Amino acid sequence: MDRRPMIPDDITRYLTTIPDWAEIPTVDGLIGDLETLAASNGDLCRWRRYGTSRLGDPLRVLSIGHGERNVLILGGPHANEPFGALTVSHLSRLVTEHAELRDDLTWHFLPWANPDAARMNEGWFAGPRSIRDYHEYLYRPAPVDDVDYTFPNLSENGYYDRPLPETQAVMRILEDLRPVFQYSLHNCDFGGVFYLLDHDVPGLAEDLLAFTGQSAVPLAMDSVVVTGLDSPGKGVYLFPPAELIDGGIAELGGTSGHWAARYGTTTLVAEIPMWNDPRAADETDSGRTLGEVFGQAATEVAESSDLLADLMATVRPALRSGSPLTASVESLARLGPSLAQGMRAAAEAMDERPAAVGEAFVGAITPIMIRMRGLGQLRRLLRAELATGNHAPALRATVRKADELFDRACHAAGTVSEGNPFPLRDVVAVQVGAGLVALRRILQEAE
C-alpha cells in the first residue's frame, strides 16, 4: 500500500519563518520558552525527567506528538557549542504547528545535555560573537567532564566505564525511547558544514549535499580533521569506532551515537561553523603542499601545548578554588601532543598533494584557535582565583603573562581572518533543514 512521505519534499518552506536572532538564549531562557510552548499546547506536549545534573539541575525531555516512532533531538552535547539551542527552539515550534511533521512520530527534545557547563559559556551568548569574545568566556569541559565523550566503551582498547550523571540520563532516554533517529547538535569554528553518521544510509549523503549546496553556509572541504574517516559522500563522514576515538589514550569514552546504535538508531551529527571566511571553501591551488601546511600546523599545536603545560606547572600548586576550568586546561596541555602527532601523521600521508586555499586557511587558523582556547580558559581560571582573595605571587605573575600571550594570539587570529560570524538564522536554517532531510531519508529507507 502506497503511503505519503511523513516529511514533505519541500523542506525549505519550514525555514522561511526562522527569526533573525541577535543572541543565543541562556539555559534558563530556552527552557522557559519551551515551558511556554508546552503550556500552550497541552494536548501535544509533556515533560519527563530522566536525571539530574552534577549541580542539581533537572534533566527533562519535552515530548511533542503521539506517534509510534520516536525522534530524539540532543541539544548542547558540547557546552561551548550552543547554536543548537536556537535549533531546538525553532524545530520544537515547527513540530507543534505542522501536523505533517508529527505523522506517526513523537519528537523528544533534550534542551541542554550539560546545563552546568553551558551556563559557564553564557558570557558570550549575547554577543558580540567575535573570536576574542568567544574565547574570553569559553568553557570547554575536559573529556572526563564532557557528556558526549563519556559513554561506556567496553572494548579492550580504550576501555571506559565512568559515565557522568548527565551521560547516564541520556543513556536512560535512549533505552526508554529507542528512537529511529537521534540528531546531535554541534558547532565548529571555521570552515564549512560537515556531517557525521554512525552508519551509511543509502541516498542520505547525496540528500545532504544537495540541501547544503542551496544554503547560505558552504559545505566544508576535506581536512586533516576528518582524514582517515570513511565517507559515503562529500561532506559526510562515518564515526570511527569508539575504541579508536582517542587512539587508545582511554581519556575518552564513546559518544551518544555509539551507544544509540544498539537500539537500531541512526545518529546524525551536524557540525555548523561559527565564523565565515570565503577562503574556507576555496578549492583553488594555494601553491603549498598539504605536508607543508599541516606539518607547520602540527608544530604550532605542539608548541602551544608545551606553553600551556609550562604555565600550568607554575600555578598548579597555588590553585585553591577547585574550578572545573583546571581540568579543562590540564587536559588541553596533556592531549595537545597527541593532536599534533595525528596532524603530523596526516601531513606525512598527504605530503606532496597540493593544498587548496581552503585547506591552507584551515591549517593557518586552527593552531591559533587551539592556543586561544587554552589561554582563554587559563585566564578565566586565574582571575577566578584572584577574585576569591588568592593572590599568590605565581598567580599574579602568570595571569599577566597569560594576558599578554592571549592578546598576541588574538592579533594573530586577526591577521589570518576577520572572523565575521555567520548570521544565526543562516546556521540554524542549515541545522534544522539537514535534520529534516535526514529524517525523511531514514523514514523512507525504513518503509
Domain ranges of the chain: 11-277+422-446, 280-417
Question: CATH second-level architecture of 11-277+422-446?
Answer: 3-Layer(aba) Sandwich (3.40)
Q: Cell triple for residue 274?
A: 561559527
Q: Cell triple for residue 313?
A: 606547572
Q: What is the pLDDT of residues 97-141, one digit of tens each?
A: 999 999 999 999 999 999 999 999 999 999 899 999 999 999 999
Predicted confidence at residue 349, as pLDDT, reads 83
Distances (CA, A) of 428 to 13, 18, 187: 14, 8, 11
Q: Quickly state the pLDDT bin for 70 (edges 50, 70, 90).
A: very high
The CATH class, in words, for 280-417 is mainly alpha
- Those residues with Cβ within 8 angstroms of residue 235's Cβ, 6 or more apart along the chain or in another chain: 192, 193, 194, 195, 205, 208, 209, 212, 219, 220
Q: What is the pLDDT of residues 130-184, one digit of tens each?
A: 999 999 999 999 999 999 999 998 887 778 899 999 999 999 999 999 999 999 9
d(CA 20, CA 32): 20
My answer on whether omega of the bond before 421 falls inside 30° of 0, hence cis, is no
602568570: which residue's cell?
398
Q: What is the pLDDT of residues 308-324, one digit of tens each?
A: 999 999 999 999 999 99
- Those residues with Cβ within 8 angstroms of residue 391's Cβ, 6 or more apart along the chain or in another chain: none
DSSP annotation of 318 reads G
Would you state the torsion angle of the CA atoms of residues 259, 263, 266, 268, taken in this order, to the nearest 10 degrees? -30
Give the up-direction half-sphere exposure of residue 242: CA atoms within 13 A in the CB hemisphere.
Answer: 25
Comparison of pLDDT for 165 and 254, the residue scoring more: 165
536556537: which residue's cell?
86
- Those residues with Cβ within 8 angstroms of residue 296's Cβ, 6 or more apart along the chain or in another chain: 363
Q: What is the pLDDT of residues 238-248, one digit of tens each?
A: 988 776 665 44
d(CA 167, CA 149): 9
Q: Cell triple for residue 67?
A: 506517534
Give pTM, 2 decimals. 0.95
Distances (CA, A) of 351 to 102, 106, 281, 345: 50, 49, 21, 10
- Those residues with Cβ within 8 angstroms of residue 305's Cβ, 6 or more apart along the chain or in another chain: 332, 333, 335, 336, 337, 339, 340, 374
Residues β-bridged to residue 184: 74, 269
Q: Quickly state the pLDDT bin for 1 (edges 50, 70, 90).
A: very low
317 alpha carbon, distance to own chain's centre: 32
Find the DSSP H helices in 26-164.
Answer: 27-40, 84-97, 115-119, 131-136
Residue of 89, 92, 30, 22 whose CA lies nearest to 57: 30
DSSP annotation of 153 reads B
Report which residue type is found at 167: T
b (16+ CB within 10 A) / e for 226-235: bbeeeebebb
d(CA 5, CA 8): 6
